[in-house]
Amino acid sequence: MKTLWMFALVGIAGAWVGCGDDDDARTDSGIDAAVGPIPCEENEDCDTYCNFGTFTCCVPADPPYEICGDMIDQNCSGYDASCGDQDRDGVQACRPGEDPTSGTCDCDDERADVRPAAPEVCDGIDNNCNGRIDESAECCEGCASLGASWNRADVCTLAGECDCSTAEGVGPCPEGQQCCAVGCVDVRSDVLNCGFCGAPCTASSDRCVAGECRCGDGDSCELNFECEAGVCVE
């Protein structure tokens, strides 16, 4: 009984969106009138997949984010994705009515390396579900000139220019500063970002010198001591 139900589900999904792309453009929604499965050689403008022994055509939505449980095969995988957290990355699949680029749901629930806030790596897909592909600084040609100080920026603008997203409009951070969550920061002297972005000194220190937390002129205080006005007190 379960097998029959799956057959019906996949068949409906394939027939609904899979075929009949009447404008022959891959950039449209891919959701056209149902005409039923057609042989793949009759339509070169589609991805093909095998549906119970027959090749059928599918034009992926643009962008091809899959919405679970809506009986539409947006990403041309051959089926409508199930809801839940199928890739077990801790983020639920995007449901009907949810925006896959809103950062609230998993825009590809079949890949654990794709979810909101995932690292955007240079692989031709949108890893962090923000609607942009390979927009990180490491994939941005405009950031190539930064060389070893690549962390002065974190993103490509839509115009392809290198930028620090938390200090928008200034381009890469000035030399000697890093692009952190709070903007451009000198991690050699900032007590809230000492040595690394988001690495604050604790109460055992009162300053950041050359990227290391210090108390006055000495090292940071031992356990159970706190730094007050440059002196360790118990």
Q: In whole angstroms, what is the distance from residue 44 CA to residue 211 CA?
A: 58
The rounded distance, in Å, linking the Cα atoms of 82 and 94 is: 10
**Exposure string for 54-65, b = 16+ CB within 10 A, e = fewer:** eebbbbbbeebb
Closest residue to bound Ca ion by CB: 106
For residue 216, the minimal CB distance to Ca ion (Å) is 44
Output the smallest distance, CB 194 to Ca ion, in A: 29
Q: Which amino acid is at 76?
A: C
In contact, 109 and 66? CB cutoff 8 Å: yes
The residues, any chain, with a CB within 8 Å of residue 60's CB and separated by 6 or more, are 26, 30, 47, 74, 75, 76
Nearer to Ca ion, 21 or 106 (CB): 106
Closest CA to 143 of 182, 171, 168: 171
Considering the complex, what minimum distance in angstroms separates the CB of residue 84 from Ca ion?
Answer: 8
Whose Cβ is closer to Ca ion: residue 89's or residue 212's?
89
Exposure string of 152-186, with b = 16+ CB inside 10 Å and e = fewer, is bbbbbbeeeebbbbbbeeebbbeeebbbbeebbbe
> Which residue, 49 or 205, has its beta carbon nearer to Ca ion?
49
**Residue number, 140 or 221, with CB nearest to Ca ion:** 140
User: In this complex, which beta carbon is closest to Ca ion, that of residue 26 or of residue 132?
Assistant: 132
Distance CA 192, CA 184 (A): 12
Q: Shortest approach of Ca ion to residue 172 CB, angstroms?
A: 19
Would you give the end-to-end CA distance of the chain in angstroms?
72
State the nearest-atom distance from the C-beta of 227 to Ca ion, in Å.
41
Q: Which residues bind Ca ion (CB under 5 A)?
A: 67, 70, 72, 80, 85, 87, 89, 91, 106, 109, 120, 123, 125-128, 130, 132, 134
Query: Smallest gap, in angstroms, from Cβ of residue 94 to Ca ion?
Result: 9
Question: Is the CB of 43 or the CB of 77 nearer to Ca ion?
Answer: 77
Q: Is 45 helix (H, G, I), strand (E, B) or coil?
A: coil
